Amino acid sequence: MNLPPTVETDEIICQCHQVTEGTIRNTIAKGELKDIDSVTADCEAGGGCHSCHILIQLFIDQHQEKTTTMEDLVHDHAQKVKKRGILSRFFNKFKSTNASA
**Domains contained in the chain, CATH given:** 12-93 (1.10.10.1100)
pLDDT at 74: 80
Coil vs helix vs strand at 55: helix
- The least confident of 16-20, 24-28, 41-45, 86-90 is 86-90
pLDDT at 98: 47
pLDDT tens track for 22-75 = 999 999 999 999 999 999 999 999 999 888 998 999 999 999 999 878 788 888
Coil vs helix vs strand at 20: strand
At residue 79 the predicted structure's pLDDT band, cuts being 50, 70 and 90, is confident
Mean pLDDT (whole number) for 78-97: 63
Q: Check: CB of residue 27 under 8 Å from CB of residue 59.
A: no
